[in-house]
Structure 1
Amino acid sequence: MAAHTPRAAALALVLLASGSASAAAVQIEARTEAQAYQIRAWRGTTPDDVVLLPRRRIVQYLGLNAFELVTGQDLGFESSLRIFADLGLPKGEAEKVDGLRTEDADIMYAYARYSTGGFEGRLGRQLYVDSMDIMSFDGLRLRYMSRFGVGVEAYGGLWVKGAGILGSSVYQPDGTRESDSRRLDAGVVGADESLDAMEPLYGAKLLVGDLKGFSGSLGYRKAMVAGKTDLERAGLEFRYARGLGVSALAGLDFDMLQMKPAQLRAQVRLDREVFAVTAEALRFTPVFSSDSIWYYFAYAPRDEARLRADFYPVGPLRYYVQALASLYHTNLNSTLSIADDVDGEGAPASTNLGGAVGASLRRGNLRSGLDVTYRTGFGGDQLWVDLTGGYSFDRGLFDLDARLSVAHVDDAFNEQLRGTFFGAQVWGSRALSQAARVSLVLEQNVNPFSRSDTKVFFLFDLKANL
């Protein structure tokens, strides 16, 4: 389901029309971005013949929020609309990258909200973030939290593909992807017509608020395509914190189809006045649809352990040191030639070890930081250096920030990822008034992969409360 469906657009117009007529308070936010950069083409090219497509985009974000539509009641709506046009990329060139569009409009979210006591309800297109996913859906979400700190949440609707903040539908687990549409239009044998079907989803959570420092949730989510289960997950979130001392958090995303943990994070932290120590364990796994062949043949999680110490001495400087260890699971078919490269005699180890050190400085209007990370083992040797700095002028009306990054990578499997990579960015921002600000961002990357990549962004932000 595309991000710009007439159904979602009609819903937004109804909400905006009704809210603007009688709202007690209205907030309008607008951002205009002029973007100039390149993106690599993936079709019709080879690793040795890199083709960079120019992008010259004008992007407009418009947010309209209203509060207290009924006097004395917490009834309102929130919305965000994105419109863009690419002046430098013809449609023919855009087809070389699945999901790339030269012009379009996306409703990021548009929902009515009502709250009273411990109850809250939302109706419309909304973003939902938890330990399992970042997603957008058109539907209803109900939440109740009792005064005892225990609650429940339920939601359901149609999963929106391609309306998320972080990317297009190409990067969703599945759904109406532009690549699938292209195969269907071309009559490719084996193309699945159900991939453009609407995808209903529903879920529920048990909630625990702040009970003597403890909080968390236990959730379940299921999505279906053409009557078949597409995604089924369970999620657990837990937090404990009571000021200085021991704190902990944990998050689990459990795949109910494979009956395996997909994502996992567990952290324990000790805070004192001048230092803090953190131990953390993580698992990262690619998330795919059950319709995807990669769901069964690319299930290769990575486990990682981190141990970090932070130091806060008297003065403007702060320091940290961190140890890192990763285990890459590479269970490959032994009959494939790549298995010898990865698991055979003399192949690189499946472990990756390293560490990081860093320091930050903040004094008055000056801020800066330095991070150095080194890793070796699986994937080769990697050295990353990041230097950042910034200064605020004219009582904060003008901000200037800069970043310099250098990475030396010797990847054991990809020749294109061998060499030294340089990146530099300068960001200047000027406040025109309390409600308006302009920014200019310049970025330059030089590397053996894309050779030279230049990006320019101009931003204008406007915020008004009526």
Structure 2
Amino acid sequence: MEARTEAQAYQIRAWRGTTPEDVVLLPRRRIVQYLGLNAFELVTGQDLGFESSLRVFADFGLPRGEAAKVDGLRAEDADLQYAYARYAVGGFEGKLGRQLYIDSMDIMAFDGLRLRYMSRFGVGVEAYGGLWLKGSGILSSSVYQPEGTRESDSRRLEQGIVDADSSLDALEPVYGAKLLVGDLKGFSGSLGYRKALLGGKTDLERAGLELRYGRGLGVSALAGLDLDLLQLKPAQARLQVRLDRELYAVSAEALRFTPVFSTNSIWYYFAFAPRDEVRVRADFYPVGPLRYYVQALGSLYHTNINDSLALASHVDAEGAPASTNMGGAVGASLRRGSLRSALDVTYRTGFGGNQLWVDLTGGYSFDQGLFDLDARLSVAHVDDEFNPQLRGNFFGAQLWASRALSHATRISLVLEQNVNPFTRSDTKAFFLFDLKANL
């Protein structure tokens, strides 16, 4: 059994019934509880188990009327993060129930069955299917609700809007399969396919390829491609080559990021604005407690902006549908005994304006690790040419104190203060109580 209770205090901006000049901040004062119940070897000698995680919360500072001003915001509720039975024998593994699925294409949750087999030759296959959950997974979008229903469409249906489509709140089946390759002379990878149906029509259809190579110190590489089969365009892509030595490491990386939307969303067709990025980094590991890194960054934003908009004047003078952003970062870290610290400085200029970020962290462990004290100080200067709310100096400070009461319990207090031109002053306090019991 694992349990954690958090008391959280912060603010969130309201979007309905407000304007950029009349900002409304909604206070959140909520108690959040996490409960995990896990069981292993339910049958003696068999790899049969059960894992689950439940989140329950109640907000004492946000009435239901105010919560309705923000899509996806609720005053109280319970979310089942995952709950599944697992069985494994030999190279076979099966999971049944609500589960999280993470790969190069997405982080998603679904109610269903997942089967996986890996042969002793390092080659295997995987298949899964069920109902897609759009509000229960990690980093899930607020425009989706559990059991595959889209919250924005449900709200339009409740309001009796004429143009609302009753099929848009239907359950959404999702299924997929993968060919797997384990560690074969340093190579591993997978080739996958995924499809989701909404109202009997294709809502998402993707293919994903992942390849890795590495054999300890020396040259390693990884590549990933997420292909949108409906538009026949790459959605996400990544290629990295790295050289590791005892005293240093160098790497070069190219990436593409693209927004992912439902095919029922107008943004899927008119907001296709990918970003390409190149990173070159070098890490140094000299003898002693210090570590250093230096990194160069370059981004290309494909901004297809309507020429009639004033915003179009900020893109390239030739009217090209792309803009660049360049910059770099340097950093150092220190670990000596119970002391730990790190400093990162990042500067970027070009598309979106100039940005300078300085982040300093430090921590110390007392009483053989029973008490930890960590602090963080962040300073940023942002001059965003598109958003007037993102201009000026931004300051943030955080202090985290944690005390272990026993091998299974720990309490923590977190204080945070942010000062910026947007929220002026924003203070947050978190109290955490962690309990872990093995039965």
How far apart, CA to CA, are the structure 1 residues paired with 2:47 and 2:16? 51
| Shift of residue 117, structure 1, vs aligned partner | 0.1
Report if aligned partners of 2:148, 2:172 keep a CA contact under 8 Å in 1.
yes
What does residue 412 of structure 1 align with? 385
| Shift of residue 178, structure 1, vs aligned partner | 2.9
How far apart, CA to CA, are the structure 1 residues paired with 2:289 and 2:190? 38
What does residue 74 of structure 2 align with? 101
What does residue 442 of structure 1 align with? 415
How far apart, CA to CA, are the structure 1 residues paired with 2:328 and 2:90? 48
Tell which deviates more after alignment, 115-124 or 417-426: 417-426
> Are residue 42 (structure 1) and residue 15 (structure 2) matched?
yes
Q: Of residues 66, 89, 93 in structure 2, which corresponds to 1:116?
A: 89
Q: Of residues 45, 48, 51 in structure 2, which corresponds to 1:72?
A: 45
What does residue 185 of structure 1 align with? 158
Q: What is the TM-score normalised by the length of structure 2?
A: 0.97
Per-residue displacement from partner, 1:30-89 (whole Å, max 9, x unpaired)? 011111111111111111221111111111111011111111111111011111111111
Report if aligned partners of 2:284, 2:293 keep a CA contact under 8 Å in 1.
yes
> Are residue 53 (structure 1) and residue 52 (structure 2) matched?
no
Unaligned stretches of 5+ in structure 2?
Answer: none
| Shift of residue 168, structure 1, vs aligned partner | 5.0
Q: Of residues 343, 346, 351 in structure 2, which corresponds to 1:370?
A: 343
> Are residue 329 (structure 1) and residue 302 (structure 2) matched?
yes
| Shift of residue 397, structure 1, vs aligned partner | 0.2
Per-residue displacement from partner, 1:172-212 (whole Å, max 9, x unpaired)? 89953333222222222322222210000100000001111
Matches within 5 A, 1:274-285: 274-285=247-258
What does residue 207 of structure 1 align with? 180
How far apart, CA to CA, are the structure 2 residues paired with 1:179 and 1:263? 26
Per-residue displacement from partner, 1:362-388 (whole Å, max 9, x unpaired)? 000000000000000001100011000
How far apart, CA to CA, are the structure 1 residues paired with 2:400 and 2:91? 43
Q: Count matched residues.
A: 439
What does residue 57 of structure 2 align with? 84
How far apart, CA to CA, are the structure 2 residues paired with 1:216 and 1:77? 28
Letter in 2 for 1:374: Y
Identity %, equivalent residues: 85
Secondary structure of the residue aligned to 2:38 is strand
Letter in 2 for 1:373: T
CA-based RMSD: 1.8
What does residue 274 of structure 2 align with? 301
What does residue 233 of structure 2 align with? 260
What does residue 234 of structure 1 align with? 207
| Shift of residue 239, structure 1, vs aligned partner | 1.0
Report if aligned partners of 1:174, 1:292 keep a CA contact under 8 Å in 2.
no
How far apart, CA to CA, are the structure 2 residues paired with 1:203 and 1:230? 14
| Shift of residue 261, structure 1, vs aligned partner | 0.4
| Shift of residue 346, structure 1, vs aligned partner | 9.1
Q: CA separation of 1:59/1:152 partners in 2, compared to 1, >3 Å: closer, same or farther?
A: same
How far apart, CA to CA, are the structure 2 residues paired with 1:173 and 1:65? 22
Q: Of residues 101, 121, 143 in structure 2, which corresponds to 1:148?
A: 121
Letter in 2 for 1:422: F
| Shift of residue 345, structure 1, vs aligned partner | 6.0
Matches within 5 A, 1:158-169: 158-167=131-140, 169=142
Report if aligned partners of 2:145, 2:151 keep a CA contact under 8 Å in 1.
no
Larger relative contact order, structure 1 or 2 (CA cutoff 8 Å, min sep 6): 1
What does residue 17 of structure 1 align with? none
Q: What is the TM-score normalised by the length of structure 1?
A: 0.91
How far apart, CA to CA, are the structure 1 residues paired with 2:239 and 2:322? 25
What does residue 285 of structure 2 align with? 312
| Shift of residue 337, structure 1, vs aligned partner | 4.4
Per-residue displacement from partner, 1:110-153 (whole Å, max 9, x unpaired)? 00000000000000000000000000000000000000000000
| Shift of residue 443, structure 1, vs aligned partner | 1.2
Q: CA separation of 1:191/1:317 partners in 2, compared to 1, >3 Å: closer, same or farther?
A: same
Report if aligned partners of 2:97, 2:111 keep a CA contact under 8 Å in 1.
yes
Report if aligned partners of 2:304, 2:321 keep a CA contact under 8 Å in 1.
no
Secondary structure of the residue aligned to 1:93 is helix
What does residue 98 of structure 2 align with? 125
> Are residue 273 (structure 1) and residue 246 (structure 2) matched?
yes
Report if aligned partners of 2:302, 2:322 keep a CA contact under 8 Å in 1.
no
Q: CA separation of 1:346/1:297 partners in 2, compared to 1, >3 Å: closer, same or farther?
A: closer
Report if aligned partners of 1:375, 1:382 keep a CA contact under 8 Å in 2.
yes
Letter in 1 for 2:222: L
Secondary structure of the residue aligned to 1:65 is coil
How far apart, CA to CA, are the structure 1 residues paired with 2:312 and 2:142? 32
Report if aligned partners of 1:169, 1:176 keep a CA contact under 8 Å in 2.
no
Tell which deviates more after alignment, 166-175 or 346-355: 166-175
Letter in 1 for 2:259: P
Q: CA separation of 1:230/1:363 partners in 2, compared to 1, >3 Å: closer, same or farther?
A: same
What does residue 3 of structure 1 align with? none
Report if aligned partners of 2:227, 2:233 keep a CA contact under 8 Å in 1.
yes
| Shift of residue 464, structure 1, vs aligned partner | 1.0
Letter in 2 for 1:315: G
Report if aligned partners of 2:144, 2:151 keep a CA contact under 8 Å in 1.
no
| Shift of residue 322, structure 1, vs aligned partner | 0.4
How far apart, CA to CA, are the structure 1 residues paired with 2:371 and 2:404? 6
